[in-house]
Structure 1
Amino acid sequence: MARMRAVAQVVTEAKVDVDGVTVGSIIGPGLCVLVGVTHDDTPEKAAQLARKLWSLRILPGEKSCSDLGAPLLVISQFTLYGDARKGRRPTWNAAAPGPVAEPLVDEVCARLRELGAHVETGRFGADMKVSLTNDGPFTVVLDI
């Protein structure tokens, strides 16, 4: 069974641009989080992911975003469900379609904000240019 997936990167800074305009940016320490949604994900899983991201102790000094009031840049990333086991061209059959995925990514952000987080975002479905400085580098894959 596929699960909601996130790739969390500890950053000193991160931003996402759409058509040459910055739509979201953070100065860290903080997390740049790529979120992938699959067909059977739910708002409950989104809430669980938000709680995990807010409390995950991966920032400097083994602190969490909640400990430091650290910001998060959350970006939808359907390609996290790419399957390249066969052939040379990945498929994204496990990725949920936009009408399912967008509200769940929004739910992750809303739940993080309810917890007290400063959250910046990309733009769902847009051609985004993400730039960041990964601190460490430190990257964790979460399946909820």
Structure 2
Amino acid sequence: MKVVIQRVTKASVTIEGEKVASIENGLLILLGIVNEDTLEDITWLSNKIVNLRIFGDENEVMNRSLKDTNGDVIVVSQFTLQASTKKGNRPSYIKAAKPDVAIPLYEDFVNQIEKDLGKKVQTGQFGADMKVELLNDGPVTIIIDSKNKE
């Protein structure tokens, strides 16, 4: 399971002209899932994300977490995070999990973030053509792969 986390002052997701998610201060999380991902990956990743100290304290030092700041979250599924660009110029998405595997894991990930954060998380729509808009704060962008936790 791979995520790109972006600290934002605002973010939104629009599908077919309709805004389906919108937050102010918090995180936009892009999530890519592979067949080998498990509930263990979800638990580890969610805990890491909500406790990651990437928000400024009173001295503007990145010392506060999403939990500390009561920040909001949007989670967007993005199979292209699992692209392989090793050969040729056309990315291969063979590692990305198919919907029958990915959708339940995506939903479990959202539920785990909500549980760990103690509040509702907004989402895009799995498999939809989404327009994602954000104002990256910092900019702070971090990539985490649950397969590299050791």
Q: Distance in 2 between matches of 1:131 and 1:70?
A: 17
Contact 1:24-1:121 within 8 A present in 2 as well: yes
Partner residue of 1:117 out of 119, 128, 133: 119
Q: Which residue of 1 aligns with 2:78?
A: 77
**Structure 1 unaligned residues grouped into runs of 5+:** none
Return the letter of the residue paired with 1:104.
Answer: L
Q: C-alpha displacement at 1:47, in angstroms? A: 1.7
Q: Which residue of 2 aligns with 1:53?
A: 49
Return the letter of the residue paired with 2:142.
Answer: V
| CA deviation map 1:49-91 (0-9, x unaligned) | 1111111111222211111111111100100011112111100
Provide the aligned C-alpha RMSD in A. Answer: 0.9
Superposition pairs for residues 4-23 of structure 1, below 5 Å? 4-23=1-20
| CA deviation map 1:28-62 (0-9, x unaligned) | 0x000000001100122112111111111112222
Q: Distance in 2 between matches of 1:60 and 1:25?
A: 22
Q: Distance in 1 between matches of 2:68 and 2:15?
A: 31
SS of aligned partner of 1:41 = coil
- Tell me the percent identity: 42
> TM-score, normalization: structure 2?
0.90
Count of aligned positions: 140
Superposition pairs for residues 1-144 of structure 1, below 5 Å? 4-28=1-25, 30-61=26-57, 62-115=63-116, 116-144=118-146
Q: Distance in 1 between matches of 2:110 and 2:119?
A: 9
**Structure 2 unaligned residues grouped into runs of 5+:** 58-62
Return the letter of the residue paired with 2:103.
Answer: E
SS of aligned partner of 2:141 = strand
